[in-house]
């Protein structure tokens, strides 16, 4: 609460299978703050050292790689081996410790982070209905990852927003004081993976999402509309449909769709199925 009251933007980046969480906060620069502290030189050293140890490549050969490139190359070696992913996560945690500091940048640079190339992401939002529900949610997510030995790479990103006045927003609430937490899980598709390898990662990500579904259901978390994907089984599709129809005024929305888009130009098979009466 203190952070949310002090800073305009707050982001947690949880590192699965470690005890570390990266805290990123930002405010508009007023022009009178002191000189900013930059990150330590070669903060990427833990990632470089792990890559050299795993591949036998000389250190000089990997020094030119960015943090995201180092993570891609490390994960590419065994993206679905949970023990290997934990090693990569621990090296990433050390990177973030060394990279700690202050900086002044354009907001687009501050609010994002270097996450590499292709990836699968599921971002969900849920209302914080009781104190520490947002932290309890994350503890259950991290506990499930460890219990089921999910090869979950870092970071799991968590943000907070005020409520939205749009009834079809995942963060809609009639309560002006309601705060929502947004949590995004990720699996990377390293560039050197074969088509078969990418398909295996895709299936693993689907399994990851399924493993977390009971937590999402418990806290009333629903996905960002742009992160909804077709489900492989009728049962999973039905659960997704029920969750969305429980959260949103679907009947009213469908009535407006029929009136304003009678030829369903803005619809598609996935959306029509999820919003079917």
Instruction: Quote the pLDDT of residue 91.
Output: 97
- Digit-coded pLDDT (tens) for 166-215: 999 999 999 999 999 999 999 999 989 999 999 999 999 999 999 999 99
Helix 195-219 × helix 234-247 angle, to 10°: 40
Instruction: Quote the pLDDT of residue 37.
Output: 64
Q: What is the 3-state secondary structure (H, E, C) of 206-275?
A: HHHHHHHHHHHHHHCCEECHHHCCCCCCHHHHHHHHHHHHHHCCHHHHHHHHHHHCCCCCCCCHHHHHHC
- Digit-coded pLDDT (tens) for 49-96: 999 999 999 989 999 899 999 999 999 999 999 999 999 999 999 999
- Digit-coded pLDDT (tens) for 12-33: 999 999 999 999 988 888 777 6
- Digit-coded pLDDT (tens) for 219-275: 999 999 999 998 888 888 888 899 999 999 999 999 999 999 999 999 999 999 999
């Amino acid at each position: 609460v203190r952070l949310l009251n002090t800073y305009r933007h707050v982001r947690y980046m949880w590192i699965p299978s470690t005890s570390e969480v990266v805290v990123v906060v930002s405010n508009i620069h007023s022009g009178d703050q002191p000189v900013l502290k930059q990150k330590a030189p070669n903060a990427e050293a833990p990632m470089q050292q792990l890559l050299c140890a795993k591949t036998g490549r000389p250190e000089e050969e990997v020094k030119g790689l960015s943090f995201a490139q180092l993570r891609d190359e490390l994960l590419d070696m065994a993206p679905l081996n949970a023990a290997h992913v934990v090693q990569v996560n621990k090296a990433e945690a050390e990177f973030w410790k060394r990279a700690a500091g202050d900086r002044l940048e354009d907001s687009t640079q501050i609010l994002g982070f270097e996450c590499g190339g292709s990836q699968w992401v599921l971002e969900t939002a849920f209302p914080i209905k009781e104190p520490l529900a947002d932290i309890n949610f994350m503890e259950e997510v991290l506990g499930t990852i460890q219990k089921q030995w999910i090869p979950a790479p870092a970071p799991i990103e968590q943000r907070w927003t005020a409520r939205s006045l749009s009834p079809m927003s995942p963060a809609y609430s009639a309560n002006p004081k309601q705060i929502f937490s947004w949590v995004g899980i990720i699996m990377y598709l390293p560039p050197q993976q074969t088509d078969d390898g990418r398909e295996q990662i895709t299936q693993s990500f689907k399994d990851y999402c399924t493993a977390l579904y009971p937590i999402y259901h418990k806290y009333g978390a629903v996905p960002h509309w742009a992160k909804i994907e077709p489900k492989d089984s009728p049962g999973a599709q039905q659960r997704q449909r029920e969750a969305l129809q429980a959260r949103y005024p679907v009947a009213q929305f469908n009535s407006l769709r029929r009136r304003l888009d009678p030829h369903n130009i803005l619809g598609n098979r996935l959306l029509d199925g999820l919003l079917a009466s």
